[in-house]
Amino acid sequence: MAKSQIKNYQDLKKLSWDEFHNTPMINKLKHFEKDGHLFDCLFSQQFTPKIIDTLFNTADKIRKIAKNKEGLDWLQTLLSHKRAMLYFVQPSTRTFVSFQSACHILGMKVSEIRSTSTSSELKGESAEDTIRTFSSYADMIIMRHFEEGMAEKAAWMLNKTKRPISVVNGGSGKDQHPTQALLDLYTLFLSFSKTGGIQNKTIVMAGDLRRGRTVRSLTYLLKHYKGIRLIYVSPEYLGIGDDIKSFLKKHKMPYEETANLTKSLRLADAVYMTRIQDEYDINNESKEIDYSKFHLTKEHLKIMKKSAIIMHPLPRRQEIETAVDDDPRAMYWRQERNGMWIRTALIAYLFGSDKVILDA
């Protein structure tokens, strides 16, 4: 079917996976909604300013309610009738534990598979059949997969069955990590709440921008804020992808590319450091790159603005010297905890429990 023939949501259901996957984002988003509400969470482009606002308010409220036993006990009643499957077949610490904790906060029961070597995939079952199996037992799949597009494929496939359940993308190959982008944005929102908000800020993103999914997903979200200036700092080979540059141009978002970290740090209101993603190397190419120029050290703190914040999705290697951790501008540990709150808000939202939280 030619793309021009795709008129509505119904037509999308008739496409093969490859045809669907190659459909422009704007046309496929409806496939992952139900009654005008997000059903699957797969890409950052799904988050409208209205949804972001709801999620931030819900997360703020959950944080307050969770401060005492009475509040925590109440939160645990909200989704005590729901079960989640955590299917994480790519390494994860924070995303896995924060999602698991988010489920626990809302009283959900969780099951987990953390490697294809312990699932029937080792017996030759396809990822698709494995995922369809989860829908027999769970009400939501939260998944991390090494293959780009696998979360989208899972949701696309399940939405055509008689038992569709929500799919949440906890990282899909080099492509996207939308809930990391949400927690990053929430951290920027909280950090700049007394200094005019996220708009008009200079945000420096440094490191492996070519293969880092967090930078890609965060860039999509920053579209919603006026006057943002983006500076992408990386070795030439690890520069930000052409698809992201087209997105920036299309939305008239000013950006620069440079290899000079020191110069960029002077301008930063926020600096977002990332590690080299060498697990995606094809031929050990990371070994050829001098990544030390993209390490933030204690010396750099002297040239940074007093009001700036330092972020990292973690895990880190040497991109941020541990001596930086004591500086009040270091935000990455708080950023990590914000992840639990915003993921709790997201799960509540997907099950329609955000209203009762906001009204509490």
Residue 20 or 332 with smaller CB distance to ligand NCD: 332
Residue 286 binds to ligand NCD (criterion: CB under 6 A)? no
Q: Computed from CA positions of residues 38, 42, 48, 53, in that sequence, does the dihedral angle turn out positive or negative?
A: positive
The verdict on whether 251 is a catalytic residue reads: no
The verdict on whether 153 is a catalytic residue reads: no
Residue 209 binds to ligand NCD (criterion: CB under 6 A)? no
Q: What is the CA radius of gyration of the chain?
A: 20
Applying CB under 6 A, which of residues 46, 58, 95, 172 lies at the interface with ligand NCD?
95
Catalytic pick from 31, 61, 145, 177? 177
Stretch that binds ligand NCD, among 60-68, 134-142, 282-290, 309-317 (CB under 6 A): 309-317
Amino acid at 316: R
Count the neighbouring beta carbons within 10 Å of the beta carbon of residue 196. Answer: 11
Least distance from ligand NCD to the Cβ atom of residue 174, Å: 9
Site for ligand NCD in 46-75 (CB under 6 A): none
Count the neighbouring beta carbons within 10 Å of the beta carbon of residue 82. Answer: 21
Residue 314 binds to ligand NCD (criterion: CB under 6 A)? yes
Least distance from ligand NCD to the Cβ atom of residue 171, Å: 5
Site for ligand NCD in 153-182 (CB under 6 A): 171, 177, 180
x-marked contacts with ligand NCD along 258-277 as a string, rule CB under 6 A:
----------------xx--
Token duo for residue 322: 């541990």
Count the neighbouring beta carbons within 10 Å of the beta carbon of residue 281. Answer: 12
**For the residues of 4-42, what is the DSSP string, one character each?**
GG--SHHHHTTS-HHHHHTS-HHHHGGGGEETTEE--B-
The verdict on whether 123 is a catalytic residue reads: yes
Three-class DSSP category at 113? strand
Least distance from ligand NCD to the Cβ atom of residue 329, Å: 20
Residue 239 or 313 with smaller CB distance to ligand NCD: 313
Residue 178 or 313 with smaller CB distance to ligand NCD: 313
Residue 158 or 347 with smaller CB distance to ligand NCD: 347
Angle, in degrees to the nearest 10, between helices 94-105 and 178-191: 80
Q: Give the residue among 197, 174, 175 at the shortest CA–CA distance from 186.
A: 197
Q: What is the size of the binding site for ligand NCD (CB under 6 A)?
A: 12
Residue 15 or 178 with smaller CB distance to ligand NCD: 178
Least distance from ligand NCD to the Cβ atom of residue 132, Å: 25
Catalytic pick from 21, 63, 83, 94? 94
The verdict on whether 300 is a catalytic residue reads: no
Residue 19 or 278 with smaller CB distance to ligand NCD: 278
Token duo for residue 176: 């996207």
Stretch that binds ligand NCD, among 1-9, 28-36, 45-53, 308-316 (CB under 6 A): 308-316
The verdict on whether 177 is a catalytic residue reads: yes
Token duo for residue 30: 């409806």
Residue 11 or 279 with smaller CB distance to ligand NCD: 279
Least distance from ligand NCD to the Cβ atom of residue 95, Å: 4
Token duo for residue 254: 């000013």
Residue 214 binds to ligand NCD (criterion: CB under 6 A)? yes
What would the 3-class secondary structure string for 179-238 be? HHHHHHHHHHHHHCCCCCCCCCCEEEEECCCCCCHHHHHHHHHHCCCCCCEEEEECCHHH
Pairing of strands 33-34, 37-38: antiparallel
Contacts of 24 (CB under 8 A, 6+ apart): 3
- Contact between residue 343 and residue 179 where contact means Cβ atoms under 8 Å apart: yes
User: Would you please indicate which residues are annotated as catalytic (active-site) residues?
Assistant: 94-95, 123, 144, 177
Residues of this chain that interact with ligand NCD (CB under 6 A) are 94-95, 171, 177, 180, 213-214, 274-275, 313-315
